[in-house]
Chain A
Amino acid sequence: MTRSPTMKGSLITPAGRRLMWRSAVISVFLISFAFFSIWAFYHYRPTGPMAWLLALLPSLGIIGQMAVFGVYLSEEKDELNVAILVKSMLWSIGGTLSVTTVWGYLEAFAHIRRLELLWVYPIFVVFQTISSLLVRWRYR
C-alpha cells in the first residue's frame, strides 16, 4: 500500500498544511496592499485610473484567499476536513448575509451608522473562525 509519508495519522493533512501556508502568504499580501492603498490615498490623493487601481488592490488578496479555499477543496483527500470546511463556510455565509441584511434594513429605516461594504469580508472571517472551531469540535 502506498502511504503518505507526511501524514502519519496526524490532525493536519498535507493539503491542510498547504492551505495554512498559502493563507498566510495571501494574508501578508492582503494586509500589505491594504496599508499601501491607505498610505497612498492619504499622501497622494490619486484620482482616475490610479484611484481605481489602488482601491482594488486590497481586494486582490480576498479574491486570492477564495481561490486558496477552492484549491484546498480540490486537493484535500480527507473527507472529514472537506466536510468541516464546507459546513463552516456555509454557516459563515449565512451569518454574514444575516448580519449585513439586518444592518442594511437598520441603515435604511432606523438610520444607524453606515456599514462600509469593505467590512463584509472581515465579518465573514469572524464567522468562519468561530464556525470552523464549532464544527470541528462537533466531530471530536
Chain B
Amino acid sequence: MKNRLRVLRAERDWSQADLAERLEVSRQSVNAIETGKFDPSLPLAFKLARLFETTIEEIFTDEANA
C-alpha cells in the first residue's frame, strides 16, 4: 500500500524517530510502514490520520485503485 508518510513527515520536519515517539511505536515500525513493507492496523492508521490532521485516504492509497 502506497502512502504519503514521508512527505507529511517532511512538511513538519519530523524524523522517523520523532514520528515513532508520537505514535508510541518503534522507529522500525515507522520505516516499515513508510516504505510500504508493513500495513498498519486500522487503529494505527486512524492515529496517523489524527496526528497529521487529515483522513486515512489522504495518507494511504490502495494500489489496486491507484
- On A, residues with C-beta under 8 Å from B are 1, 3-4, 7-13, 77-81, 83, 136, 138-140
Q: Which of chain A's residues have a CB closer than 8 A to the CB of B19?
A: 9
| CB-nearest residue of chain B to A14 | B24
Residue B5, interface by CB 8 Å: no
CB atoms of B18 and A9 under 8 A apart: yes
3 tightest A-B contacts by CB? Answer: A9-B17, A9-B20, A80-B29
Minimum CB–CB distance for A71 against chain B, Å: 19
Given contacts A9-B17, A79-B44, A80-B38, contact A139 B24 (CB under 8 A): no
Q: Are B28 and A77 in contact, with the CB atoms below 8 A?
A: no
B6 proximity list for chain A (CB < 8 A): none
B16 — nearest CB in chain A belongs to which residue? A9
Q: Please, how many angstroms separate the alpha-carbon atoms of A12 and B16 in the complex?
A: 15
Query: A80 and B26 in contact (CB under 8 A), knowing A138-B37, A139-B32?
Result: yes
A9-B21, A78-B26, A140-B28 known; 7 other A-B pairs, CB under 8 Å?
A7-B24, A8-B21, A9-B15, A11-B27, A79-B25, A79-B40, A136-B28
A78 x B25 contact (CB < 8 A): yes
* Measured CA separation A12–B26 after assembly (Å): 7
CA separation between A9 and B41, bound complex, in Å?
Answer: 19
Q: List the A side residues contacting B37 at CB < 8 Å.
A: 138-139
